[in-house]
Structure 1
Amino acid sequence: MIVELRQYTLRPGRRDELIELFDREFVESQEQLGMMVLGQFRDLDRPDRFVWLRGFADMTARRKGLQDFYSGPVWAEHGPAANATMIDSDDVLLLRAITAPPQRSRDTIQGGLLYVTAWFRDHRFDPEFADRVPGAVAAFTTEYAVNDFPALPIREGEHVLVWITRDPVDVTAPDGVRVERLRLSPTSRSALRG
């Protein structure tokens, strides 16, 4: 599975506006085209950040799904309103699932916070690093395929290992690794929850 970890910087005070629009218009419309909207979240430490995960069976399915969605009627109608809430939508990691997140019903009310940890370094990670993380819901590493949908930029030249947990987990990073952590609160329609 190919996954995009997308972090949007929004105009001050407009996150809930984007979440309402996203949850209403962009979940099923993408899934009907073969994409998986795995989860959408409020970043608890950055009030003007919206984070979401989108999955694809492979890179071919990614290109087709993105072409169909961004040239389709739902984006034509609602895309300008979504873009108006954003300052930056280019903070995107293209990842390959080591272990895929579990699928849950969007109607599930229960579920709390999720924690995302990302390790960055100057060369590739061995996927077995993910085995060190107790309680990981999902784990990912960099997908090195060329971004064949350049209208949506991704962060290039990154070597990353990412995992998601339901509880905060502090795994000692090896030397030379930069660590980023996110505390995420799922939106009411997020399939992935704590």
Structure 2
Amino acid sequence: MNLARNAPRLASPVVELRQYTLKPGQRETLIALFDREFVETQEATGMTIIGQFRDLDRPDMFVWMRGFEDMEARKNALTAFYDGPVWAKHRDAANATMIDSDDVLLLKSAWPSAGFDLSRSKRPSVSETGKPSQDAGLAGIVEISIHHLRPGTEASFAERFRTEAVPQLTANGARLLGAFVSEHAENSFPRLPVRAGENVFIIVAGFYDDAAQAGSRSNLASSDLVRTEILRLSPTSRSLLR
């Protein structure tokens, strides 16, 4: 039996969660440019474009994630893309939409099976976007909960969440998409800053609609927890994660 062939496609042990503050009214401009020019061209360098999202509560925020096999692969892929012809051609147009692009968390899987399983995900081509689809209206809501923790407590908090809170989430109709903790390795591509010194545990969950999302919040009381941020996101038409 070929176990590798039957294993799920986990989208990379190292993940960047990127939140961009955009100029008023520029989000759709950036999404159109990103989905047309920056998906396959980044993936050609060895990374995975996991998901692109509109923030439902902040109209000028664009949130996206990309994944890498390890920190060295991250360095090589980012060097290839940002020194390459596609970024050189479109960077001025992309940067013109942005106020800030430095809100970046560098993450790793919270436990071995906690990465994103994209084995059944299929990204529409650029030519297919905007056309009616049998999946239209079924993208749902992706919620990212960012739990800020006291230093050194990510692993123990993640284990308690896995055993205590995950069953409650799934029983309430949520789909657990992934779970991550801070990656404390040195930034392997310093041209792009990350939020160094962060201690976070992140849960990514999927919901079919607002009602399901509102009724499925799970809180884990802990002295390790400092604060929690909640991002309610709507996937773009070319987001793998939804």
Quick check: 1:19 aligned with 2:31?
yes
Provide structure 2 residue ranges, at least 5 long, that are not aligned to the other structure: 1-12, 125-134, 171-175, 208-212
* Cα distance in 2 for residues equivalent to 1:34 and 1:159: 27
**What displacement does 1:50 show?**
0.2
2:116 aligns to what?
A: 101
1:155 aligns to what?
A: 195
1:69-88 matches, within 5 Å, as 69-88=81-100
Q: How many residues align?
A: 193
**What displacement does 1:102 show?**
1.9
1:60-71 matches, within 5 Å, as 60-71=72-83
2:160 aligns to what?
A: 129
* Cα distance in 1 for residues equivalent to 2:96 and 2:105: 22
Greater fraction strand = 1
> Considering only aligned residues, what root-mean-square deviation do their CA atoms show, in Å?
1.3
2:226 aligns to what?
A: 177
* Cα distance in 2 for residues equivalent to 1:130 and 1:62: 28
Quick check: 1:119 aligned with 2:150?
no
1:22-37 matches, within 5 Å, as 22-37=34-49
Partner AA of 1:150 in structure 2: P
Q: 1:101, 1:138 within 8 Å by CA — same for their partners in 2?
A: yes
**What displacement does 1:177 show?**
2.2
**What displacement does 1:174 show?**
1.7
TM-score where L is the length of structure 2: 0.77
**What displacement does 1:101 show?**
1.2
**What displacement does 1:146 show?**
0.2
With over 3 angstroms needed to count, the CA separation of the structure-2 counterparts of 1:73 and 1:129, relative to structure 1, is farther
CA radius of gyration, larger in: 2
* Cα distance in 2 for residues equivalent to 1:10 and 1:158: 23
Q: 1:18, 1:85 within 8 Å by CA — same for their partners in 2?
A: yes
Quick check: 1:140 aligned with 2:180?
yes
**Equivalent residue of 1:161, what SS?**
strand
* Cα distance in 2 for residues equivalent to 1:90 and 1:48: 15
1:189 aligns to what?
A: 238
Quick check: 1:59 aligned with 2:107?
no
**What displacement does 1:143 show?**
0.3
**What displacement does 1:42 show?**
0.3
1:166 aligns to what?
A: 206
Partner AA of 1:170 in structure 2: S
Provide structure 1 residue ranges, at least 5 long, that are not aligned to the other structure: none
* Cα distance in 2 for residues equivalent to 1:130 and 1:30: 33
CA deviations over 1:116-162 (Å, ceiling 9, x no partner): 10100221311313403333210000001000211100001100000
Partner AA of 2:29 in structure 1: E
TM-score where L is the length of structure 1: 0.95
Q: Structure 1 stretches (4+) deviating beyond 3 angstroms?
A: none
